[in-house]
Amino acid sequence: MKNIHLLAPWIRRFLLEYLVADRNLAYNTQKSYRDTLILFLPFMAKKLGKSMDLLTVEDISNDSVRQFLLELEKQRECLISTRNQRLAAIHSLARFVGERNPELIEWFAEIRSIPFKKTAAPSMAYLEKQEMDTILVVPDRQTPQGLRDYALLLFLYNSGARASEVAQLTIADLDLGNPSSVTLLGKGSKVRRCPLWPQTVSILAPLIAGREPNEAIFLNRTKQPITRFGIRALVKRSAQKASHKLPSLSAKSVSTHTIRHTTAVHLLRSGVDINTIRAWLGHASLDTTHKYAEVDLEMKAKALAQCEIPSSSMTAAKEHWKNNPELMAFLKSL
C-alpha cells in the first residue's frame, strides 16, 4: 500500500493547510467541514470493517458517498440543505486530493459527479409586531434568569443578529454611550456595528455591571457563555409559551432566524431604506435584503385585494355610464 493513498495524511492537510492557510475560510465553515468528516469517516470505517487510520483514498467511492448521504436523510433525518452542505465538504476534499495527485484525477471526477439535490426556496417567515411583543413579555423579569432571557430576546430583535454572532459577543463589544452600539462579527469574519435602542441599553447595563470586558455578555445558568444552541432553545421555549396567549404563534415555527427576518421587515415598514437594512443585518449582497421588500409588497397586494370595489357599486357605475351617452362616447374614443 502506498502511503500517498492513505486518507489520514490528506485529511490533516485538508483541514489544517487548505481550509485555514490556503483558503482562509470562515471559522464556522471550517467547523462545518470538520463535522462532515467526523460523521463520514466512522461511517466508512464501519462499512468497510477497517480502522479509520487505514482508510485509503480509493475506499471512498461514488456509491459509498451516496450511501452516506442517504443515511443522513433517512437515519439522521437531515434536511436536503444539510445533505448538500455535507456533500459540498466531500467535493472540496476530493478536489483538494485530485489537484495534488494526478493519479487520482479519475477518482476525483467520480466523486465530483455526485449532484446536489434541488431544494425549494424556503419561505420568508417573520412575526407581526403583536406576536413579537407577546414573546418579549414571556420572561419573568423579576428573576435574574428571566431578566437575562428578556435581555437576550430584546437584543435579538434590536440587532437582527444570528445566534452564532450573539453567542460570541463579549462586554468589550458593547458601547453603551450616546449613541449606543454593538460590534458584531458575522459571516466571513465581516465586522459591522449595529445601533442599540435606549430600551436595550437600559436592560443590558445592569446585566454587565461589575464584570470584566472579556466576559461573554449572555451567560447560561451555570455562569458559562451561552451557546447558539442555548439561544435557539430559549427562543423556541419562549415562542411556545407565548402561543398560549396568542394562538397565531402556534402555526409558526419560530427560531432565531425568524426574529432576524422580523427585524428586517419591521425596519422596512418603519421607513428604513434597503441599503441601511443590508448593513444592519450584515448581508454581503443587496439581493438578499431585497427579499424583505418582496415580502412587504405581497402584503400590500393582499391589502389592496381587500379594498376592491364591491360588485353592487360596479353595477351602479355601469348603469350611470349607460344613462350618460356623452360619457359612453368619450370612453369608446379612448
| pLDDT tens sequence across 211-225 | 999 999 999 999 999
pLDDT over threshold 70, residue 102: yes
User: Own/partner pairs for 224-229, CB < 8 Å, 24+ apart?
Assistant: 225/167, 226/152, 226/167, 227/167, 228/163, 228/164, 228/166, 228/167, 228/256
Domains of the chain: which residue ranges? 3-112, 129-305
Residue 151 has a pLDDT of 96
Catalytic one of 83, 86, 148, 283: 283
For the chain, the average pLDDT equals 86
Q: Are 168 and 182 in contact (CB under 8 A)?
A: no
Contacts of 227 (CB under 8 A, 6+ apart): 167, 220
- Per-residue pLDDT band for 57 (boundaries 50, 70, 90) equals very high
Residue 328 has a pLDDT of 55
Catalytic one of 13, 91, 187, 228: 187
- Per-residue pLDDT band for 160 (boundaries 50, 70, 90) equals very high
pTM: 0.67
Question: What's the CA dihedral at 299, 304, 306, 308 to 10 degrees?
Answer: -160
| pLDDT tens sequence across 106-146 | 999 999 999 999 877 666 788 999 999 999 999 999 999 99
Q: Are 293 and 268 in contact (CB under 8 A)?
A: yes
CATH 3.40.190.10 fits 129-305, yes or no: no
The reply to whether 221 belongs to the active site is no
Least confident of 236-240, 279-283, 289-293: 289-293
| pLDDT tens sequence across 283-317 | 866 666 777 766 655 555 655 565 555 555 556 55
CATH 1.10.150 fits 3-112, yes or no: yes
| pLDDT tens sequence across 181-197 | 999 988 877 899 999 99
Helices (H), the chain: 7-13, 27-48, 62-74, 80-100, 105-112, 129-136, 144-159, 163-167, 198-208, 228-242, 256-269, 274-281, 286-305, 311-322, 325-333
Catalytic one of 5, 83, 162, 278: 162
The reply to whether 260 belongs to the active site is yes
Least confident of 19-33, 48-62, 187-201, 303-317: 303-317
Q: How many residues does the chain have?
A: 334
Catalytic one of 228, 257, 290, 291: 257
Q: Are 201 and 134 in contact (CB under 8 A)?
A: no
The reply to whether 257 belongs to the active site is yes
Q: Which helix (H) or strand (E) holds 125?
A: none
Catalytic one of 86, 260, 266, 278: 260
The reply to whether 162 belongs to the active site is yes
Residue, of 255 and 290, whose pLDDT is higher: 255
